[in-house]
Amino acid sequence: MPRHRSSVLLLAPIVAGTLLAPAHATVQQAPAATPAATVPAPEAEVPVQSTVAVSAARSSNRIDRQAYDVKSDSASTNDTIADTLNKVPSVAVDPDGNVTLRGRSNVQILIDGKPSAMMQGENRAAALNALPAADLESVEVINNPGAQFGNEGGGGPIINLVMRRERTPGSFGVVNANAGQEGRFNASTFGSYTGGRLSVQGALFGRRDSRGSTGETTRDRIDPATGAVASSVQTSTSENDTDAAGFNGSLNYNLGEKDVISLKANFSATSQEGLSSERYRGTDASGAVESEYPRSTARDTNGRNYTLSAGLDHKGEAPGEIFKTDLRLSGTRNEADVRFANDYSVRPINAPEPLTRQDNLNQTRIVDFTGDYERPGESGVLRLGYKVARNSSVIDTRFLDIDPGTLFESVNGARTNRFELVDTTLALYGTYQMRLGEKWGVLGGLRTEYTDLDIDQVTTGIKAGNHYLEAIPSAFLTYDLSDQTALRLSYAHRIRRPGASDLNPFVIYRDELNVSSGNPDLMPTESDSLELGVETKLGNVETNVRLYARRDTDLISERRYFISDTVLLTTRENAGSSNSGGLEFSFSGRATPKLTINASGNIGYSEQSVLGNVNDDKRSATSIAGRARFSYQFDPANSLQLVLNAQGKTLFGEGYRQPTRTADLNYRRNLSQALSLVVNINDIFDSQKTESITETDRLREYSIRRQDGRLVYVGLSYRFGSFGSGRGPRGPGFGPPGGGMGPGPR
């Protein structure tokens, strides 16, 4: 049945905003690369007092986000975007590409402030582990998103990937190439040209990676009536070779005094060949062996991602008035051919044929049309906007049984299914920004979203629909305690709508002990988050401290239960509520003339309902996470960087994940003004692992998986063309020693 929802708004008079310059920052801008009559950036600033100089490419700090300059990180010439995100405070990306922020997994990832198909669902992990960090300008972390941000692709906190921009007049280029052990390599190139009315830039990349892993899972199935326990053990080893390549390009052209058009395109492709072997052994409550056999798996996977966009910026008659419109098409197509071979010594009941095959297709297409209007006035800045978006997803699974004698393939109807979802969103927002005297600044606003879901379970012929109407308020407040210290208070209400894999009810085969399905009855998760922050400068140290609290209702969580004696089903349920909060901090500055330290940490507390427990219990955890980045400049030609990363215990619906620790090392030597030698060592102590524990009334499970850890790369970075932009390791002098991952002046 359709469902209508609306929120009672207490903050409707306050309109959401995006920008407010901090009272303690003056920015020294790089020389502008602006073609004639370029439309001004749509980010008007409120005049502020200025005492501290910060070197950067832009001059506005945004009240609703923290921005981290990553272009000067010397390891970026080799790293993937996943590697770079693992250096951003409170962000974590595990070896499988799963992203968390302050321990929460419902993270929305945008590219230049816009949604992209490759950053949604199961596509995201492959993209993060393939795209080069050298294409990034900065990373913005938006824990309390304002009204200009929609709720598609997650609806929780946002990580915005700001792609590299080069607007310095003339031409500029860079080529990076790195080689590692066991045939690993990567290469990327970037080039730009700006002259007259035209500015163009583009990038190419290629990467070959080889990763292995080992794992073990022990599982106890508990009879709730008798307490009898049946056990199983699954061990595995795997090797995966991945090739990835892609390009991106953009063009900006000034039509005249008031209009600028922009065109952008990107494409990437990945292919993966994997081999794995698993061994299963299961016993009943008496200890008798019920199943025992090895299985080998061969997997071929191919993925394609694309984005095309066209935009127009129109400058109005009033000072600072601007209208921007953008049409964006993005899509992904991922195909997998998986072959299984089982060699039964003790064949379990209802086991598949010894030889089987599975074909998978996952496809997503997004059409996104947006418009944004901004008009500064005497008392503040008004912004209005709209969005029309259509997101279509397909999950197609085809399972085949193979006759061992004839190799004839027959469709297994119980494991074959096609599911389609169309998500249409219409949204309007309004924002307002103003100063209240010399010390107070206010931003706030309101977004309304109408969402229509059309669900088609093609195989079974079942169709369903749902729709939501949501009003989403947000509010931001700043107070300047002094020239160097500012307080920031923010509130945001968000919703997380379930995606295609969350809603698909069909049971999808993973392996002989594990299957998964979605839940078409899922309700959206609603979240309310509050944050109070202090930004200041203590001597030479930029300091940020933030207190935060968050409450989720109708939380979407994984629920697992047995559908047979040995097979565990993973599905989704609305799991009551979750409360979390904590203290987040970051420090960045020079300890000595040659040593720069960037440190960040998060002390968090979380509590949530325990799934699979008849007593409706709550599980809680205190987690401490920290990062430290030490950069030492021996002399103008030689620098060393050490990154330490520790993640504390994190909760999920039925259990928790154990803490993790890693360390990375980077050495850079400038061979000339244009050429540099770079050495990267990832996971120095070979400590990378994923360890989780599940505890419910009917299931106890311990799982550990170890990835290939220590990886060594040696590479060269060569720059050519205009050197006037001073872009950290991408330009002459490589910026300040150790510069890069501190909070940027955004």
pLDDT per residue as tens digits for the range 18-50:
333 333 333 233 333 333 333 333 333 333 322
* Better-predicted residue by pLDDT, 668 or 89: 668
Q: What is the pLDDT of residues 390-411, one digit of tens each?
A: 999 999 999 999 998 888 999 9
Structure tokens at 128: 């993060």
DSSP assignment string, 265-327? EEEEEEEEEEEEEEEEEEE-TTS-EEEEEEEEEEEEEEEEEEEEEEEEEEE-SSTT-EEEEEE
How far apart CA 186 and CA 669 sit, in angstroms, is 19
Q: Which of 143, 190, 141, 186 is nearest to 161 (CA)?
A: 141
135-to-65, 79, 205, 282, 623 alpha-carbon distances in Å: 21, 10, 9, 48, 33
Say if residue 724's pLDDT is above 70. Answer: no
Q: What is the pLDDT of residues 409-442, one digit of tens each?
A: 999 988 899 999 999 999 999 999 998 888 999 9
Percent of the chain clearing pLDDT 70 (strictly above) = 87
- By the 8 A CB rule, do 732 and 673 touch? yes
Least confident of 48-52, 187-191, 466-470, 478-482: 48-52
- By the 8 A CB rule, do 195 and 170 touch? yes
Q: What is the pLDDT of residue 680?
A: 96
* Better-predicted residue by pLDDT, 160 or 576: 160
62-to-43, 72, 166, 176, 656 alpha-carbon distances in Å: 9, 21, 21, 32, 34
Q: What is the pLDDT of residues 133-167, one digit of tens each?
A: 999 999 999 989 989 988 765 667 899 999 988 87
76 phi/psi in degrees, rounded to 5: -65, -20
Q: What is the pLDDT of residue 20?
A: 32
User: Is the Cα torsion angle 234, 235, 239, 240 positive or negative in sign?
Assistant: positive
Say if residue 599's pLDDT is above 70. Answer: yes
How far apart CA 429 and CA 562 sit, in angstroms, is 45
Amino acid at 686: D
- By the 8 A CB rule, do 534 and 586 touch? no
**DSSP secondary-structure letter at 38?**
P
Q: Which of 634, 636, 626, 639 is nearest to 598 (CA)?
A: 626
Q: Going by C-beta distance under 8 Å and a sequence separation of 6 or more, which residues neighbour residue 469?
A: 4, 5, 6, 448, 449, 450, 451
How far apart CA 600 and CA 588 sit, in angstroms, is 9
How far apart CA 96 and CA 705 sit, in angstroms, is 11
How many CB atoms within 10 Å of residue 390? 14
Percent of the chain clearing pLDDT 90 (strictly above) = 56
Q: What is the pLDDT of residue 236?
A: 95
Which pLDDT band, with edges at 50, 70 and 90, does 84 fall under? very high
For residue 527, the Cα-to-chain-centroid distance in whole angstroms is: 19
Predicted TM-score (pTM) above 0.85: no
